[in-house]
Amino acid sequence: NAGVMQNPRHLVRRRGQEARLRCSPMKGHSHVYWYRQLPEEGLKFMVYLQKENIIDESGMPKERFSAEFPKEGPSILRIQQVVRGDSAAYFCASSLLGGYGYTFGSGTRLTVV
Amino acid sequence: GIQVEQSPPDLILQEGANSTLRCNFSDSVNNLQWFHQNPWGQLINLFYIPSGTKQNGRLSATTVATERYSLLYISSSQTTDSGVYFCAVAPVGSARQLTFGSGTQLTVLP
């Protein structure tokens, strides 16, 4: 079992570019969650998805951020027109049942220059 | 929303010492997990423990749901135990999003 796979591990973008972060859940897991960790802070919930559906996006910024979990392929967190304040570690987690026993990936560290 | 408080915020130990980390939460939960974030930033799931007691090697955890707290015990600490320990909970009726505490920064000295 390969666990939750996130890529890339590190991503550098210039201000105004787009960032695309990918997450492949554990085999058999159909629930995916994205969290953001700003420097020196804890993790904050962003969005919860099941296959082809966004279940809860109450933690997502209203603009520039979007997420999807298609029927085939990984979940994608997309940040358009990145700004320096978007620099953070973005973690993906998956679970077998909704909300129970999360397993986290190793994260993507986004740096906006 | 639910509040999660962890204590102590920082802890420095000599290798071989024991420690207890505490997590208080403000509402009934049906999901509580302890995580270790190592110095490389990886987030390791230690325990899924909304109630009761579990042990895994030198680590054990106890959650007293009725009193809204959880404890993580680390025995015979090693330098590889260094990092940040997070408690995360989800309240009853909203089992999806975890709310994280601010963590305990543990440093184990050789």
Residue A112 near residue A83 (C-beta atoms within 8 A) = yes
Helix (H, G, I), strand (E, B) or coil at A23: strand
As a whole number of angstroms, the distance between CA A94 and CA A37 comes to: 17
Residue for token digits 């997309």?
A78
Percent of chain B whose predicted confidence (pLDDT) is above 70: 98
Mean pLDDT, range A53-71, rounded to an integer: 94
With an 8 Å Cβ cutoff, is B97 touching chain A? yes
Tell me how crowded residue A83 is: count the other CB atoms within 10 A of its CB: 12
Residue B89 near residue B31 (C-beta atoms within 8 A) = yes
Residues of A in contact with B99 (CB under 8 A): 45
Chain B's closest residue to A55, CA to CA, is: B96
Percent of chain B whose predicted confidence (pLDDT) is above 90: 81
Cα dihedral: A106, A110, B1, B4 (round 10): 50
* Residues in B 33-52 with any Cβ partner in A closer than 8 A: 33, 35, 41-45, 48
